[in-house]
Amino acid sequence: MNLDFDRCYRAVSSRDARFDGQFVTAVRTTGIYCRPSCPAITPKRANVTFLPTAAAAQQSGYRACRRCLPDAAPGSPQWNVRSDLAARAMRLISDGVVDRGGVDALSAALGYSTRQLTRTLTAELGAGPLALARAHRAHTARLLVETTPMPMADIAFAAGFASIRQFNDTVRDVFAATPSRMRADAARRVPDAPPAAGTVSLRLPYRPPLDRDWLGWFLSAHAAEGLERWSDGEYRRTLRLPHGVGVAVLRFADTHVRADLTLGDMRDLAPAVARVRHLLDLDADPQAVDDALRADPDLAPAVAATPGIRVPGCVDPGELLLRTMIGQQISVAAAATHTARLVAALGDPVADPYLTHAFPTPATVAARGHEVLTGPARRVDAIVAVAAALAEGTLTVHAGRTAADLRADLLAHRGIGVWTADYVVMRTLADPDVLLGTDLVLKQGARLLGVNPTDQSRWTPWRSYASMHLWRTALTAADRGRVDTRTARPVTEPEDIR
């Protein structure tokens, strides 16, 4: 990544929090690295260098600042805007692929040799896949040390370290403190609220502004009973994670999202955090998006009315694909009802006062979907066939795919049309540049604003966010009785059933 020194130094001098997570400041005289908004005295120009990732700083021998906690900054929006090898690798590393399967698993998922992958990441990000994964393990370890009473030995293995010694050495190298001292310091800070037993309570930071109303509508409208719940500004849902099933409870605050994560296996903490952040699009740069879209005079009123709109992602790409197919040609409310029926019949039970089941695995849907799914026979057959392809591995849907390859693979399956493919690509990859031009409700919003949704270039590279504004415009008008949007929910075009 090419970092302009003068631009970075201006951001550091002004303590601009918008740049937190986009680069780190390494100070040679102190041997520490900070986020751009660190409240400490701005170091002299001659004493600093700017690096793209915390892993690059750690690789160069720098320790994390204990005042600004640079590892706790929002993630870089580069991994969404960019679709090159480095960006796709970072998405998978954040989900714990290296911790679970090593660099070979990461290379296989991306379709590159280990040597080529390591060379590319080192050149682009200043650190190879092992160093990048080590930085994520250190962050996970800090969260567990500071937010749970777990024994240090358990934390070491839950965070992905091969030994307690490796855990201790890494924590000392990265944070310049022992794990015991970090826990003692954290105990002196009063949390927002005591977490429940077996629950990790975290703050997930984001770059303001954030359109809470849009995210709240999206999550509540799509919530399937038993799997998800929206109540009084709190979103609760089950998570199918690499080592078991967990539950996430999310609440919005002014600068962060409060997340209570109940996990069956603490090794799932890092993937759970990554997936929740992806679901809520917390790593976006909303000011950059809004500034670009405001340049269009037709769209500017919508942007001014709802700054900080987000493009919701997903917590499980396979679940997203199957649920999207279930919802073809019906309203979102009807799709939630059908999904709830499938979850109740085939999902794995969970112990939670409000939720009952996790979403069933693709293998279960492939084996028993015909017993539960209702609707046109062609749609049911298509859903079961796609579930079988997911279970067998002939169709892979994950954040490490390129948009073009994933879209082509989806369209090759019967029952997946252009709208479904684009919608799944947008939400799976957090792709900021997908315009859902065939969506009926989006067309309603475009007509209300007087814009042409078939113009595929006017909002590049932020067409996904433009789609959200057009949706929101139509839905707001529907609530006021100005337009009929078929129950005021985004629905698919008929050609999605083939």
Give, as one character, the DSSP assignment of residue 299. Answer: T
Q: Where are the beta strands (DSSP E) in 158-243?
A: 199-205, 228-231, 234-241
**472 in Cβ contact with 444 (< 8 Å):** no
CA atoms within 13 A on the CB side of 344: 11
Given 8, 34, 38, 65, the catalytic residue: 34
Question: In the chain, what is the straight-line distance between the N-terminal and C-terminal CA atoms, in Å?
Answer: 43
Which phi and psi angles does 193 have, rounded to 5°?
A: -160, 145
What number of helices (H) and strands (E) belong to the chain?
A: 22, 9
**271 in Cβ contact with 136 (< 8 Å):** no
């003692």: which residue's tokens?
Answer: 184
**Residue type, position 2, single letter:** N
Residue 65 is among the residues annotated as catalytic for this protein: no
Instruction: At 197, list the tokens.
Output: 């037993």
DSSP per-residue codes, 481-497:
TS---TTTS----GGG-
User: In this structure, what is the dihedral angle of CA atoms 131, 134, 139, 140, given to the nearest 10 degrees?
Assistant: 150
């890092």: which residue's tokens?
Answer: 270
Run of H or E including 435: none
Residues assigned a catalytic role: 34, 439
